[in-house]
Amino acid sequence: MNISSTLRIVIVGHVDHGKSTLIGRLFYDTGSLPEERYREIEATCREQGRAFEFAYLMDALQEEREHNITIDTAQTFFKTSLRPYIIIDAPGHKEFLKNMITGAAAADAAILLVDGAEGVREQTRRHAYMLSLLGLRQGVVAVNKLDLVDFRRDRFEEVEEEIRGFLLSVGLVPAHVVPISAREGDNIAAPSERTAWYSGPTLLGALDSFSPARDISGLPLRFPVQDIYVGDGKRVYAGRVESGCLRAGSRAVFSPSGKKAVVRSVEKWKQPDRTVASAGECVGVTFTEELFVERGEVLSEEGEASPAAREISASLFWLGNDPLRLSARYVLKLATAEVEAVLSAITERIDSSTLEVTERHANRVENLEVANVTFTLQHPIAADTFKENPRLGRFVVTVGEFVAGGGIVREVRSDRLGRGTRVVRLHSRMMTEPDGNFVDLSQEAGPVEFEVSREFVARLGEGEKVAIRLCTADQLEKIARLAFGYGLGMTFRRGPEGNRVVLFREGPVVQAATEVEFPVI
Amino acid sequence: MDPLDALENQSIYIFREAHRKFKDLAMLWSIGKDSTTLLWLARKAFFGKVPFPLVHIDTGFKHPVMIEYRDRMAKEWAVDLVVSRNEEALCQGMEPGKGRFVCCNALKTQGLQQVLDRHGFKGVFLGIRRDEEGSRAKERIFSPRDKNFEWNYKDQPPELWDQFNTSFGPDTHVRIHPLLSWTELDIWEYIRREEIPICPLYLSRDGKRFRSLGCVPCNFPIASGASTVNEIIEELKVTKTPERAGRAQDHEAAYMMQKLRSLGYM
């Protein structure tokens, strides 16, 4: 049997733009709607004196049917000839944003639905922004209800332009923008004659073009310890390989403790000959020597440990009823680690539907807002930036019993004690050679922060330049920020001898910027 | 990753997380294919030694074949089995004739409540799946029930990125649903792959078999010649009838399952 990976799709958008109807229609058009369910819906509709409602398939709860809205996420399954799909319906109403996030957090790709007659609305934008924060980069926009505007091309293109513009501003590019009518079935499974001017795929065709979720096996090993089972004289460390590959015999290191160990065996019930566990697998691990390590520690291969974070800067969305407050204490949960943290800065507060920065250096974040924040942790935990490792770069914030917010890690700042970010002082590393000043960072593979002295900047002002040989793209970014902060000029060159930037100064000295003044993505 | 492996790993992760975070857990075993698969997964998660008891809510109306299979497997797998019956209701003559809602509520829901109280269980694993019926589709993996056993489906806490809500107040008990993302077909394919022994009532006899197991008076067989797991899978792939078509309480009144579930039914 050709097992093609199941793709999990979430459908988001403003309330009443037709999500539930679209899902019912997708089922019907792929032959996945059981006859009995069809008849059940038909009977209920007849009782209520209405025309057949595809939306009833997902809106099973009584309140939902009575009020014609979706309250919570539900999941249902259908297949095209290519592969199986799990469709997660997510509610559109503002109040149900937390349910939408729960649904979307589990998805591999998204359909952003927009009512073609009404156009892009508040929730359309808010959901799109949330998708971007949740790391969901694959998506298709479906412009719906075109039957209400006679399938006019100009109206479709108007809406298309507006939504593409917004998506771009949050860093998203949709794979396709498809004109549809969920109620009437146009361009869902079969191309519609009424949109002869459209040459792209049908909605199902667009779904089939999505590729499965990001390949995480190429990333470094991250095995967070979930629990420890003691028995038969062994200590078995249970957990899930979040990324990379775990091998028996490998030399490993834990973060944040830095403890080292050699993996003796990979254990699975009734599978005694396992030597490797890959990403996504839940296994038990034993070590060659006795070791005491707690839940929350993350195992990696020697030399590739997760940074030990003392401070985390993140973009987060807040779902709690009470506002998130500066200087208050919260509990963060990242992988299997749990740590108390103080919210030490709210750098920007952002309205999630307009993306406007409503306040800098704020003292609170309200329900449904997004913010760039910094947490100072009570003790270090292993964490990666979301960009480097999505599984170890995201966390939730709990208040009392429940999850009240979620965040993705933008930066990690470490303890000197742990294996973490090194501070590189460019002025100390600078070498002066006949053909100019030079800093060689080509051996600095780990995470770094840069510092420069006043004298360094002053020398550049006197017409000198410095060439810096880079090791990673992360360094390029950090140097660019530094240059921006000090008003320095920067050029870069990629070449066979390595990648370099050259820093120089053209104008007068600029006051060091304490924040980078860019719109936030 | 193979889809069945992905589902298996997710369920194992949930089991281990629950065991770490809660004391006084139990697993509901209805003897059906889903909860037997659940038991199999628990054995995998804990390397053969399931660290909590299995609870069977015996309504008194179960098929004798089910009871025989239950006792045999419990012994073979060294399961710590707790059987609970709402004796009080049964003595007072509770039976489906009194109305299915009333009977399910008394013999199952209250039967569950009694065993939780008697043993002080703070949480139970259940083998429900989203694709079984509408209100189950809306569930969370870790789902609290308040002290009145009620399910506040209108205001569920968010569940995000495998971070489950695992700190609850003292009067709540938690329902844990490791099989939520599995479909009926996934269950059968897994049973086939792992060679999990299942209750013989699922297999055809005299041209009939049960697609879903319930109590004798309210559970109707389907016409089918499928007498092996392979044949059941082939049959499932072409059927257009939903799984619970033979379960009378689902169809008795509009939204009955939702009402039952809001009062604490499985």
For residue B146, list chain A residues with Cβ-Cβ distance below 8 A. none
Instruction: Compute the Cα dihedral for B135, B136, B141, B143 and give only its sign.
Output: positive
Q: Rounded to whole angstroms, how far apart are CA atoms B231 and B240?
A: 16
Helix (H, G, I), strand (E, B) or coil at B62: coil
Q: In this model, does residue A154 exceed pLDDT 90? A: yes
pLDDT 10s digits, A217-245: 678 999 999 999 987 788 999 999 999 99
Q: Rounded to whole angstroms, how far apart are CA atoms B17 and B21?
A: 6
3-state secondary structure A486-519: HCCEEEEEEECCEEEEEEECCCCCCCCCCCCCCC
- Beta partners for A178? A142
**Interface A:B, Cβ pairs < 8 A:** 133
Nearest to A34 among B1, B165, B241 (CB): B241
Identify whether the C-beta of residue A481 lies closer than 8 Å to the C-beta of residue A455: no
Q: Rounded to whole angstroms, how far apart are CA atoms A341 and A405?
A: 14
CA A320 to chain centre: 20
Nearest to B245 among A36, A73, A278 (CB): A36
Confidence category of residue B7, pLDDT binned at 50, 70, 90: very high
Pinpoint the alpha helices (H) of A193-297. 203-208
- Nearest residue on chain A to B253, judged by CA atoms? A44
Q: Predicted ipTM?
A: 0.88
Nearest CA-CA partner of A430 in A449, A448, A455: A455
CA B244 to chain centre: 13
CB contact under 8 A, B3 and A3: yes
Q: Rounded to whole angstroms, how far apart are CA atoms A297 and A274?
A: 23
From chain A residues 210-249, the ones with a CB under 8 A of any chain B CB are 226-227, 229, 231, 236, 238, 240
- How many CA atoms are closer than 13 Å to the CA of A415, on its beta-carbon side? 19
pLDDT 10s digits, B38-56: 999 999 999 999 999 999 9
Q: In this model, does residue A416 exceed pLDDT 50? A: no
For residue A34, list chain B residues with Cβ-Cβ distance below 8 A. 240-242
Q: Rounded to whole angstroms, how far apart are CA atoms A16 and A145?
A: 11
Q: Rounded to whole angstroms, how far apart are CA atoms B213 and B218?
A: 10
CA A271 to chain centre: 34
State the smallest CA–CA distance between residue B84 and chain A in angstroms: 30
pLDDT 10s digits, A450-475: 878 878 888 888 888 999 999 888 88
Identify whether the C-beta of residue A457 lies closer than 8 Å to the C-beta of residue A483: no
Structure tokens at B73: 């497997």
pLDDT 10s digits, A263-286: 999 999 988 888 999 999 999 999
Q: In this model, does residue A521 exceed pLDDT 80? A: no
Confidence category of residue B190, pLDDT binned at 50, 70, 90: very high
Q: Rounded to whole angstroms, how far apart are CA atoms A286 and A454?
A: 52
Q: In this model, does residue B134 exceed pLDDT 70? A: no
Average pLDDT over residues A316-342: 93
CB proximity A75 to B under 8 Å: yes
Using alpha carbons, list the distances in angstroms from residue B201 to B63, B208, B210, B248.
9, 9, 6, 18
State the smallest CA–CA distance between residue A491 and chain B in angstroms: 40
Q: How many CB atoms lie within 10 A of CB A494?
A: 9
State the smallest CA–CA distance between residue A13 and chain B in angstroms: 18
Q: How many CB atoms lie within 10 A of CB A341?
A: 21
A136-140, B9-13, B40-44, B260-264: segment of lowest average pLDDT = B260-264
CA A113 to chain centre: 20
State the smallest CA–CA distance between residue B95 and chain A in angstroms: 27
Q: In this model, does residue A29 exceed pLDDT 70? A: yes
Q: Rounded to whole angstroms, how far apart are CA atoms A83 and A33?
A: 17
Give the containing element (helix H, strand E) for B256.
Answer: helix B256-262
DSSP state of A116: T
- Beta partners for B223? B208
CB contact under 8 A, B138 and A280: no
